[in-house]
Amino acid sequence: MINERRIIIAISIEFIICYDDFKYQVFMKKNLAILLFCVLVLGSIRQSSFAQYYYYPIDTPTATATPTPGAWYKLKNASLFKNGEINLTLGSITSFDADDDGTGYLVIGNPGVVTSSSNIAFFPSSFKTSLYEWKNPNYSFSSLSLVASFYDYVRARKTYEIASVGDVSENKIYVIKSDSLDLTNSTFPAASAPFILIIRNVADTDYGNLVIKENITSDNSGVVILAKNIAFEPVVTSVYGLFIADSVDIQGTTNGLKVVGNLISNTDVAIPERTDLSKPSLFVVVDPGQYISLLPLSVSKYDFRQTQ
């Protein structure tokens, strides 16, 4: 039976002391020091110890950690579709080279639309897709059929099978059978551009792989290379051409990789970090002139004669 009930509420609303049948229950919100101070003020307590202590955590704001900058990429005169999320974290931004204006945009020059099958997010938020902010996240896009079907397309036209890259001599469509083909600047037949080089495996059941072992420095003005996988070795920092593959492997370079032409992959491309993270690790400058120079290879010529 409750003989006496007294509730004392401190002015600061920091605690409540309930006196019930000579038992004390103390409900604390912040700290024990305030309680002890109030006990001394209220006088002696009949029981030598408190029955229970209840401590409640204080809701304090937690500082948000600044994301660590990582590898990022940049394009010029391009549109972009990426499988998966576009999520880039940047620090300070500087130019890759003279072709890069150093602005905080994913696409510079004459930008197109940036699309992704998932979210598009940047840190800091001042970094934008382009000057016009043309973007479409969560965009549904089927896989590139170009890589799979292009060989069937060109087989319907005139193709030339060659034994080595050195056999390229004219503006034609060439097929070379190799499970893995190494390409260097010295073996690259830039003088024969424009041409299309298709790498098939020896069994001719799929595309073969291409390994680019050094910079392709010649402005070849229209060379398309199709392969299963295109690998850029760590020493490679600059290539010219239109490179199309199911997958692309950038093996990492301290100075980043620049592609003048275009780089198209059917699967997501892992971008390795470079030493200076203020510069993009991958810089793709889309060159429309290389596409235009290939028009003669994509147009069929027919000679019609009327017979009496």
Residue 162 pairs with which residues in a beta bridge? Answer: 176
Q: Is 146 helix (H, G, I), strand (E, B) or coil?
A: helix
Task: List Cα–Cα distances, 236 to 29, 51, 94, 213, 231, in angstroms.
Answer: 63, 74, 21, 7, 10
pLDDT at 121: 95
Question: Phi, psi (5° rounding) for residue 211?
Answer: -120, 115
Rounded Cα distance between 287 and 213, Å, is: 22
Over residues 244-252, the mean pLDDT reads: 93
pLDDT at 108: 98
Structural element, H or E, at residue 52: strand 52-54
In sequence order, the 6+-apart residues with CB closer than 8 A to the CB of 142 are: none
pTM of the predicted structure, to 2 decimals: 0.75
Rounded Cα distance between 219 and 217, Å, is: 6
The answer to whether residue 113 scores a pLDDT higher than 60 is: yes
Q: What is the pLDDT of residues 153-176, one digit of tens each?
A: 777 777 788 999 989 988 888 999
Residue 87 pairs with which residues in a beta bridge? Answer: 121
Pairing of strands 86-89, 223-232: unpaired
User: What is the CB neighbour count within 10 angstroms for residue 186?
Assistant: 7
Q: Is 196 helix (H, G, I), strand (E, B) or coil?
A: strand
Reference 250, options 265, 261, 242; nearest CA is 265
How is the chain split into domains, by residue range?
5-54, 73-298
Percentage, residues of the chain above pLDDT 70: 73
**Lookup: tokens for 25:** 């229950």
pLDDT at 109: 97
Are the beta carbons of 133 and 107 closer than 8 angstroms? no
Among 99-108, 119-128, 185-194, 295-304, the minimum mean pLDDT is found in 295-304
